[in-house]
Amino acid sequence: MPEKRPMTARPRPHLPMRPAWLCRNCAAPWPCGPAQLDLVTEFNGHSIALAFYLASSMQRAVNDMYGLGGRPDPTVRHTRFLGWLSLARRSRRAG
């Protein structure tokens, strides 16, 4: 009889739930802190590609908000989706 191995739960990814753009895992505004770490790891060495991905996500979030009847604040959206990128790049250089 084969040995039974305990099942380990895989961590749930921190992905956006549309149209609200909240994290499916922690319900924080996406990209939440863990999603930011995951994205920096996934796009390691490709910061321009990450910026394009986030800008595209930001545009979809803005479109979704208009679709829900909201009026997105461009400064808030920029800070949320792209504002943290320069901090991530600086911390990688310092480390």
What are 29-85's pLDDT values in tens digits?
A: 999 999 999 999 999 989 999 999 999 999 999 999 999 999 999 999 999 999 999
For residue 2, pLDDT beyond 90: no
Q: Quote the percentage of the chain above a pLDDT of 90.
A: 76
**What is the distance between the alpha carbons of residues 17 and 58, in angstroms, rounded to a whole number?**
13
Has this prediction a pTM greater than 0.75? yes
pLDDT value, residue 88: 64
pLDDT value, residue 87: 67
For residue 89, pLDDT beyond 90: no
